[in-house]
Amino acid sequence: MILTVTLNTALDVTYRVPRLLPHASHRVTAVTERPGGKGLNVARVLAALGHKVTATGFAGGPVGSVVRSALAASPGVVDALVPCGGASRRTLAVVDEASGDTTQFNEPGPLITPAEWSRFLAHYEELVSGVRAVALCGSLPPGVPVGAYAVLVRTARAAGVPVLLDTSGEALRRGVAARPEIIKPNAAELAELTGSRDPLPASRDARRRGAHAVVTSLGPAGLLAATAQGTWQAAPPRPLSGNPTGAGDSVVAGLLSAMAEGLDWPDRLTRAVALSAATVLAPVAGEFDPGVYEELRQTVRVRNGN
C-alpha cells in the first residue's frame, strides 16, 4: 500500500475553449471535473499502474463532498480524507485549443483549525504504520503550520517508511531538513530553495540540506536526478504540447511506484518521464493513455551525468 497526502485537496475543473483571448467572452466546448490537488492526482496514477493506494488530507464543504463522491468512483483508491469545517477549494484550468496552452486559476483552500490539524496528525500516524511509501504533495491550506511537512516526514521516517516530498517555498525548506527520501521541485522551486539557478549544483546543495535524492522537473527538457548513486538526466523523445496540469504529479507517481518496486534510478526516471509526457497529451489532469505511456517509455532518453 502507498499513502498519498493532499492537505489542500481540490475539485479540478477543466474548460476547453477554441481560443483564449483577454477581455473577451468565450464559448466553452467541453468541461470536465475530477478530484484534485497534487496527491489525489498521484493516487489515481498509482492506481492505474496497479498499486494499492490510500489518499488522505482534508476535505470540507460542498466542494469537499463532491471530491469525496468522485473519489469513491476512482478504482483502486481508498478514501481516508479527514473532514474539516471549511470549504475545499476549486482549481480551474482553461485549455486554449488553438495553441494547446493552459491557463490555471487556484483558490487558496479552507482554514484548518488547530484541533483539526491535531486530529489529522493522529490519523496520519495510524495510516503511515501500514504502508510502503508516502507522497506528501502540494500547498498547505490556511491554518496548517508551515513546518507541517517536516513533522509528517519525521513521523514516516520513525516508522521506517520512505517519503517523497513535492511542495515549494518555506514548506519545502523546512521539509528538506527532516531528510525525506526524495524531493521533486521544479527548476524555479529548486532555485528558491538554494539560491542557485544552475540545477546541478542546486540539487547537490539541496542534498546537503537533507534530501537523500533530488529529482528536478526541467519542463520540456525532462528530469534531472541527483542521488547518492549518481546523477542522471532523462528527457522525452520530442517536445510535446498539451495540458501540463498533473504532469508533475505523474512524475511523483512514477518515482514513488518505481521506488516501491525496487527499480534502479534509470528505470525510475524512464517511468516518470514517460508518465509525465503521456499526461501532457491527455485531456484531463491525473490521467494518461496506457498505450501512449508504453510507446513513450520505449523512447525516453536517460543520460548518466557522473
Contacts of 55 (CB under 8 A, 6+ apart): 3, 4, 6, 39, 40, 43, 71, 77, 78, 79, 80, 81
Distances from the Cα of 110 to the Cα of 33, 119, 154, 185, 289, angstroms: 19, 16, 25, 24, 33
State how far Cα 157 lies from the chain centre. Answer: 20
* Rounded CA separation 78/75 (Å): 9
Q: How far apart are the first and last CA of the chain?
A: 34
Contacts of 234 (CB under 8 A, 6+ apart): 222, 223, 225, 266, 269, 270, 272, 273, 300, 301, 302, 303
* Rounded CA separation 122/279 (Å): 34
Choose, from 249, 264, 267, 289, the residue flagged as catalytic.
249
249 is an active site residue = yes
Judge residue 213's burial from the number of C-beta atoms within 10 Å of its C-beta, 0-12 exposed, 13-18 middle, 19 or more buried: buried
Distances from the Cα of 277 to the Cα of 51, 56, 108, 114, 235, angstroms: 20, 26, 28, 39, 9
The residues carrying an active-site annotation are: 249
